[in-house]
Amino acid sequence: MSETDFTPTEMMTIAAARALRNTDVCFVGIGAPSAACNIARLTHAPDITLIYESGTIGTAPTVLPLSIGDGELCDTAVTTVSVPEMFRYWLQGGRVTVGFLGAAQIDRFGNINTTVIGDYDQPKTRLPGGGGAPEIASSCGEIFITLKQSKRAMVDKIDFFTSFGHGEGGDHRARLGITTKGPTLMVTDLAVWRSDPVTREFTVVSLHPGVTREMVQAECGWTVRFADALDETPRPTEVELKTLRDLNARTKAAHSGGKTGEAA
């Protein structure tokens, strides 16, 4: 693949990374959120502070971690604190500007399910659960979400409320006494979505190159709202693509026990 061609996943990761600011303190989820956060750190936001649930603060991994317990996170962190301190002092103390999460299921108001698919007592699939995501969703200044689009993942009604987004929409968070912004951004492999300031429903504000409205609707379980002024997501730059591919190559080599040069 050339430096000008890119996959939908690469576009998603890079578009998500661009949303982060150099001054952010970001609570990072494993998987796609971790990739986006580290691409931001390696490109336009070198001073961003990345925090993982295991207590690592200011971590700068050279490869993407397999889990929050990956030694790479502790080895490259400025400091590591206890989990109670992480949640009580840093997270609940209002010191984290952005929480970056993924989702197994999500609805139009940014409510997330990572617990079960189907009935809770007799589920079709039992998922890993919330971990720290419910606290992240309620205590971070705002929430960014990234996931690949499908009708299975983006549903009209989630099967279980793991992490509270905007509930029923509107001022539902405020009525529950939650003072943080909640989900403000969602980046998929097809589009960039923003939360409507009044209804709090996710609205498509930008289509990735080559993507149509029909393609977005076909992979979403609710009737999609599109912004009146719909943009096209800027294509990845050569620097962004090279940085992402180099990171993925290093990660593949590290996790397979090979050498970096073998993981092109």
CA dist 71 and 79 (Å) reads 13
Residue 3 lies in a domain: no
Residue 83 lies in a domain: yes
- Predicted confidence at residue 3, as pLDDT, reads 54
pLDDT along the chain (264 residues), means of 10: 80 98 96 96 98 95 93 94 95 96 97 96 93 95 98 97 97 97 98 98 98 98 97 98 97 77 34
- Predicted confidence at residue 256, as pLDDT, reads 87
- Predicted confidence at residue 263, as pLDDT, reads 33
User: Could you count the other beta carbons within 10 Å of the beta carbon of residue 32?
Assistant: 23
CA dist list (Å): 165 to 5, 27, 113, 256, 259:
35, 16, 10, 37, 42
Contact 183, 165 (CB under 8 A): yes
Buried b (16+ CB within 10 A) or exposed e, 3-21: eeebebebbbbbbbbbbbe
pTM metric for this prediction:
0.93
Residue 245 lies in a domain: yes
Residue 216 lies in a domain: yes
Whether 168 is catalytic: no
Residue 263 lies in a domain: no
Residue 50 lies in a domain: yes
- Predicted confidence at residue 4, as pLDDT, reads 65
Residue 176 lies in a domain: yes
CA dist 147 and 110 (Å) reads 12
CATH for 195? 3.40.1080.10
CA dist 32 and 145 (Å) reads 9
- Predicted confidence at residue 260, as pLDDT, reads 42
What is the total count of domains within the chain?
1
Catalytic pick from 10, 53, 72, 240? 53
Tell me which residue range forms the domain holding 234.
8-255
- Predicted confidence at residue 124, as pLDDT, reads 95
- Predicted confidence at residue 2, as pLDDT, reads 53
Residue 121 lies in a domain: yes
